[in-house]
Copies of this chain bind each other. A is one copy, B any other.
Amino acid sequence: MTARRNRQWLLAKRPVGMVSAANFEFRDVPAPMPGADEVLVKILYLAFDPAMRGWMEDRPSYIPPVALGDVMRGAAVGQVVASNDASLPVGSHVSGFFGWQEYAIAKRGGALPIAEDTELTWPISVLGITGLTAYFGMLEIGKPQPGETVVVSGAAGATGSIAAQIARIQGARAIGIAGGAEKCAWLRDVAKLDGAIDYKSEDVGARLSELCPKGIDVFFDNVAGPILEAVIDRIALRARIVLCGGISGYNEKEPPPGPRNLMNLVRQRARMEGLILTDFAPRRAEGTAQLTAWLREGKLAHREDIQVGGIENAPRTFLRLFSGENLGKQLLRVGAPEETR
């Protein structure tokens, strides 16, 4: 057997404004060997999320920034191809933050076995950060009640699509905002939302007024910017706004101004609250189990946008999130499983 090579992407330069491929550096090095109690994981799929843009900046946040020269952080699923850990034999499938590379060393706890009844990609898509963020954000902060009107921005994305459907499952009227006819058709026809707004071709404010005649009780925001302002204009009494993300500003050098109408939070006694998944880490198993049940029962649709071409394509795949090209959870197929004895 020839020695394995490990091709990887390092964080080379912190982004100022729009992130680009130039922020990363490609390197080809020998794959490492696992030490005591470690395994070597061959990465099969990498997952991408807009929040990763924040990890590239050198400022305090909910997790430390990626250091310059380090392999870019990223969630992945892979196959154990060498093992010094009896609990993770060669051939087993695992998920973890293995990074933008073809092989990763994982210590115990850093590689979670994938359950038999779970599709290989689910731990980094619908059961991963984005799905669980949707689950806890919608249920614990948004708290939609039957009959209430719930609006979700970035609704065709990995987090938004799950959040909107959870609102629908709770008996609320769920309206999604997304960019483009194809995404909106998916929201209506597959995700079975009560309405979809195409922000690229429609007047978001006018359509919100039309679709939410009694006002908006819950807003799950992935986007910020003008869409947040349009929603705040139309919130119902005691509305809850779940601040999950603000992709519209992630690549701006200067963050754009905030909504001019925060005083409407006063008039409507509304609440706006930020959400980070790590706060719900102790309840991960509960979220995973409920999402799996809804998936198996056919109540929850989800879509994965799987790019191909191997690890070379990691930066290019990441950038799809900011151009709005992705349809559902953005994944990259990095490698094929090995035959194992």
Contact = CB atoms under 8 A, between A and B. Distances in A.
A259 B224 CA distance: 12
Which bucket holds chain A's interface residue count?
Answer: 35 or more
Interface in A272-292: 272-276, 279
B269 A279 contact: yes
A261 B263 CA distance: 16
A270 interface: yes
Interface in A214-250: 224, 228-229, 243-246, 249
A251 to B, nearest CB: 13
Contacts of A269: 273-276, 279
Contacts of A255: 260-261, 263
Give the dominant DSSP class at A's interface: loop
A258 interface: yes
Contacts of A265: 243, 272-274
Nearest to A265: B274
B254 A266 contact: no
A118 interface: no
Contacts of A298: none
Contacts of A246: 262-263, 266
9 contacts: A224-B262, A243-B263, A254-B260, A257-B258, A259-B262, A266-B275, A267-B276, A270-B274, A271-B272
